[in-house]
Amino acid sequence: MRVLVAAALEPFLRETEVPPDLFVELLPEEAPVPTGDYAGILPLLTRRIGPAELARLPALRVIANYAVGFDNVDVGAARARGVAVSNTPDVLTEATAELTWALILATARRLGEGERLVRRGAWTGWAPTQLLGMGLAGKVLGLVGAGRIGQEVGRRAPAFGMRVVYWSRAPRSAWERDVGARYLERDRVFAEADVVSIHLALAPETVGLVGAGALALMRPSAILVNTTRGGVVDEDALVAALAAGRIRGAGLDVYAHEPQIPARLRELENVVLLPHLGSATEEARRGMWRLAWQDLLRGVRGEPLLNPVSAS
């Protein structure tokens, strides 16, 4: 059986025992999906798998997506052709939660501005009012979305002396009790939080959800952090809010059109920008590979997937 694996994953593939009946072809990111009798494909999140790509793969049985998100895959179209789809949940939860807190701290304490000051040789010494930031103790963390990652972010908040409010499609009662979190309507989370952290999957109903209206609800002293999907935030509205000082700052790990980042966003001092590092730990990325590879093998053999996803 022939399968396609994203070429960027070759280092993990070299460490993996490949069954003798499986022939693996590496697919460079810049190359289109080829036409052929491939039984499976293991793509990155950046690889679109829609009706056109599926039509080139008439023998396809499984798409083992190397990501917890799967907005790059037309799951409905895949299901219509009898193709199973899997993702890699759980193994990147802690890594992404840690990265979220790194952005919260870096944005609140203006670490990016401080590092740039030192690197360009402009630091003239300690001063009592230099780069004053926002302390976290006694502040409110607002979570917009409380899935696996959002909940892990919330669990770390008490260690910083923060209270937690959140909005989710459904209340998370057990987690609420563990963390002492309060469920609020979404607009109230934006209005009451000192730190708003976004944890929503990208879907038609969430595209641009954090726009001018939501940002206008935030306190001028508040910060916004996004480690989920760039398309959830209206970048033009965010630039306008940051440039006008309507919010204190922002920390971003994801963007609407990666790797392109609007020049106006890059020019702002009150935003911390990272190159999509959410799950970038050795442990998480190897764990993602193990899950995706296992489901690739199971899918081509017609076995039930360990981490199937549904069109809903």
**CA–CA separation, 157 and 100 (whole Å):** 11
Instruction: Look at residue 294 in the predicted model and tell me its pLDDT.
Output: 98
Query: Does some domain include residue 310?
Result: no
Task: Note whether 176 and 32 are same-domain residues.
Answer: no
pLDDT at 21 over 80: yes
DSSP-derived secondary structure letter, 214? H
| Residue 107 near residue 162 (C-beta atoms within 8 A) | no
Q: Mean pLDDT, the chain, as a whole number?
A: 97
Least Cα distance to 45 among 300, 306, 278, 271 occurs for 278
Q: Which of 11-15, 68-72, 182-186, 227-231 has the lowest mean pLDDT?
A: 68-72
**Contacts with 304 (C-beta within 8 Å, 6 or more apart), sequence order:** 298
Instruction: Look at residue 178 in the predicted model and tell me its pLDDT.
Output: 96
**CA–CA separation, 146 and 153 (whole Å):** 9
Least Cα distance to 146 among 209, 189, 194, 91 occurs for 189
Task: Note whether 84 and 106 are same-domain residues.
Answer: no
pLDDT at 76 over 60: yes
At 104-159, the pLDDT tens digits run 999 999 999 999 999 999 999 999 999 999 999 999 999 999 999 999 999 999 99
Task: Note whether 152 and 121 are same-domain residues.
Answer: yes
At 266-276, the pLDDT tens digits run 999 999 999 99
Task: Note whether 82 and 100 are same-domain residues.
Answer: no
Task: Note whether 30 and 145 are same-domain residues.
Answer: no
Instruction: Look at residue 311 in the predicted model and tell me its pLDDT.
Output: 62
| Model confidence band, residue 312 (pLDDT cutoffs 50, 70, 90) | low
Instruction: Look at residue 188 in the predicted model and tell me its pLDDT.
Output: 99
Task: Note whether 50 and 189 are same-domain residues.
Answer: no
Query: Does some domain include residue 112?
Result: yes
Instruction: Look at residue 182 in the predicted model and tell me its pLDDT.
Output: 98
Q: For this structure, is 257 an active site residue?
A: no
Task: Note whether 116 and 230 are same-domain residues.
Answer: yes
**Contacts with 180 (C-beta within 8 Å, 6 or more apart), sequence order:** 158, 163, 164
Task: Note whether 97 and 245 are same-domain residues.
Answer: yes
Q: Which domain holds residue 238?
A: 93-273
**Contacts with 247 (C-beta within 8 Å, 6 or more apart), sequence order:** 215, 218, 219, 220, 222, 223, 224, 241
Q: What is the dihedral of CA 106, 107, 112, 118, to 10 degrees?
A: -80
User: From the candidates 155, 276, 286, 301, which is the catalytic residue?
Assistant: 276
Q: For this structure, is 229 an active site residue?
A: yes
Task: Note whether 101 and 6 are same-domain residues.
Answer: no
pLDDT at 230 over 90: yes
User: Quick one: angle between helices 93-108 and 111-119, nearest 10?
Assistant: 70
Task: Note whether 106 and 240 are same-domain residues.
Answer: yes
pLDDT at 310 over 90: no
Percent of the chain scored above 70 by pLDDT? 99
Work out the number of other CB atoms within 10 angstroms of the CB of residue 196.
28
Q: Which of 67-71, 141-145, 282-286 has the lowest mean pLDDT?
A: 67-71
Only one residue has tokens 């993996």, namely 16
* Tokens found for residue 133: 């930031």
Helix (H) or strand (E) holding 107: helix 93-108
User: From the candidates 176, 258, 286, 301, which is the catalytic residue?
Assistant: 258
Number of domains within the chain: 2
Query: Does some domain include residue 172?
Result: yes
Check which CATH number belongs to the domain holding 179 and give it. 3.40.50.720
Query: Does some domain include residue 306?
Result: no
Instruction: Look at residue 118 in the predicted model and tell me its pLDDT.
Output: 98
Query: Does some domain include residue 309?
Result: no
**CA–CA separation, 275 and 255 (whole Å):** 9
Distance of CA 151 to the CA centre of its chain: 14
| Model confidence band, residue 53 (pLDDT cutoffs 50, 70, 90) | very high
Task: Note whether 52 and 200 are same-domain residues.
Answer: no
Task: Note whether 37 and 115 are same-domain residues.
Answer: no
**Contacts with 182 (C-beta within 8 Å, 6 or more apart), sequence order:** 163, 164, 165, 166, 176
**Contacts with 58 (C-beta within 8 Å, 6 or more apart), sequence order:** 37
User: From the candidates 61, 199, 229, 248, which is the catalytic residue?
Assistant: 229
The mean per-residue pLDDT over the stretch 210-231 comes to 98
| Model confidence band, residue 57 (pLDDT cutoffs 50, 70, 90) | very high
Q: Identify whether 259 is preceded by a cis peptide bond (ω within 30 of 0).
A: yes
Instruction: Look at residue 177 in the predicted model and tell me its pLDDT.
Output: 96
Q: For this structure, is 185 an active site residue?
A: no
Query: Does some domain include residue 308?
Result: no
Query: Does some domain include residue 159?
Result: yes
CB under 8 A, 24+ apart: contacts of 291-295: 291/86, 291/88, 291/89, 291/91, 292/42, 292/64, 292/65, 292/66, 292/86, 292/88, 293/12, 293/16, 293/42, 293/64, 295/62, 295/64, 295/86
Phi/psi for 101 (5° steps) reads -70, -35
Q: Which residues of 137-158 are buried (b: 16+ CB within 10 A; e: fewer)?
A: eebbbbbbbbbbbbbbbbebbe
Query: Does some domain include residue 250?
Result: yes
Full DSSP string of 170-182: S--HHHHHHHT-E
